[in-house]
A and B are shown apart, each in its own frame.
Chain A
């Protein structure tokens, strides 16, 4: 019965209980939101392993912020804000690190292809189709990675998490009209990048 109550409790209530050191409530909270947080970060970074690490970092912050948490906004808005800030900070530090290191090897790209094609391995009839599907997904993820951080956050939150412009504005910390123009630029940029990639590899079917 207690478990049922916990499962049906709002995230804000679970958060309040987590703040009092209730690890069971925290576990339910993590299990409830881990998938959406992980996928948001995965679509932002394009790297599964990095996404897992950052998602854990998000929940680590949630745990440490729990005692002082005040439910002034929706819990999902709050947690996406933490995730977005972590992603943007990570991107900045990676950019600085890249200035002093060698470029990524071909192996990393192959890993991504393998990862992307893994879920279609049983459905795809031929290796050529499998490669095409993997290549197409890789191109889409690459195109998303090339967008400026704010445009990427807005786009991913809208397309994959289905949030409204108002909610996205709260997460990014800007006005609704600013989100509107971010989305216009993101869609135009993304279309431009996908078309240019098509010209390079001829796998974009338009």
Chain B
């Protein structure tokens, strides 16, 4: 085996990664080749020096810290999952969904609070039943509130109608 091939296999020889035959062949080559044996000595010396780097101990709290990170990750994961739901919706659809949800929630909340305030204002002798109050609260939701553009248009239309 030539020196070039020996040098290629020298690391594997040092790490005992070769077959016993190959180990023996390289060993006998090293005994008679000063150049290859010098390179091998360098490898050996470097390997020994690496042993001087100390081993470190994990912190006592390593596992506890890890549990905290796992708990924190789970919390963040819930928010990121929520984001993922909206991520697949196009922006206009997301906006429309949120506006619609706001309207529905607002209508129900307004209706509920209006009824509650009417009932509480009746005092000790109630004059209206809960059904009356519900009907009144529905009637207060005027589809064309006075003073709006739509209200003005309706008034103009009805004025023309009465002129004929």
Contact = CB atoms under 8 A, between A and B. Distances in A.
Is A bound to B? yes
A34 B11 contact: no
Given A180-B12, A180-B17, A52 B59 contact: yes
- Classify the interface of chain B: helix, strand, loop or mixed: helix
Interface in B68-104: 69-70, 73
A80 interface: no
Contact of A30 (B42, B46, B66, B73): B66
Interface string B49-73: 1111111111100110111011001
B8 interface: yes
A191 B44 CA distance: 10
Contact of B43 (A23, A56, A191): A191
Interface string A153-164: 001001110001
Contact of B11 (A48, A140, A187): A187
Contacts of A64: 73
Please classify how large the interface on chain B is, using the bins under 10, 10 to 19, 20 to 34, 35 or more.
20 to 34
Given A35-B58, A52-B58, A190-B46, A180 B63 contact: no
A43 B115 CA distance: 72
B21 interface: no
A1 B73 CA distance: 33
B63 A183 contact: no
Nearest to A166: B17
Contacts of B58: 34-35, 38, 52, 55
B65 to A, nearest CB: 6
B16 to A, nearest CB: 9
A191 B62 CA distance: 35
B53 A165 contact: no
Contact of B69 (A27, A38, A60, A116): A60
Contact of A38 (B17, B56, B63): B56
Contact of A206 (B45, B66, B70): B45
A119 B50 CA distance: 17
Interface in A133-147: 136-137, 140-141, 144
Given A183-B12, A191-B42, A194-B46, A165 B56 contact: no
A26 B14 CA distance: 37
B26 interface: no
Contacts of B70: 60, 63
Given A35-B57, A164-B17, A183-B11, A136 B52 contact: yes
Interface of B: 7-12, 14-15, 17, 42-43, 45-47, 49-59, 62-63, 65-67, 69-70, 73
Given A137-B52, A206-B45, 13 more contacts: A56-B62, A56-B65, A56-B66, A56-B69, A136-B52, A140-B49, A140-B50, A141-B53, A159-B50, A160-B50, A165-B17, A187-B14, A187-B43
